[in-house]
Amino acid sequence: MDEHDDHSLDIQQNVGDVGGDFTKSITIEAPETTVGGGDIAATIEFIEKIYNYLPELAFATLYGLVVYAAVLWIRRLIKK
């Protein structure tokens, strides 16, 4: 196993030789989750989520157009 295969980050800072050990070590371990498929899987999942919202989007668009048409019709009645 290579020393970089554990996906941990090791940072050390040395302050110099001042009669003591002034070394700071920070270790950050990677989470134990696995990435399933990369960009292609994420894109497919995103498209599936978008398709789930299409009926709501279509309804909101039609509702907006109906309200806009009603406003135009009412303005036309008022101007007469």
> How many domains, in total, are found in the chain?
1
Residue 3 is assigned to a structural domain of this protein: no
pLDDT surpasses 80 at 23: no
Average pLDDT over residues 45-71: 94
Instruction: Indicate whether 4 belongs to any domain.
Output: no
The reply to whether 1 falls in a domain is: no
Structure tokens at 41: 């899987």
- Look at residue 72 and tell me whether its pLDDT is greater than 70: yes
Q: What is the pLDDT of residue 1?
A: 47
| pLDDT at res. 28 | 65
pLDDT band of residue 12 (cuts 50, 70, 90) is low
* Pair 24, 1: CB distance under 8 Å: no
Q: H-helix or E-strand containing 14?
A: strand 9-14
Range of the domain at 56: 9-79
Mean pLDDT of 47-68: 94
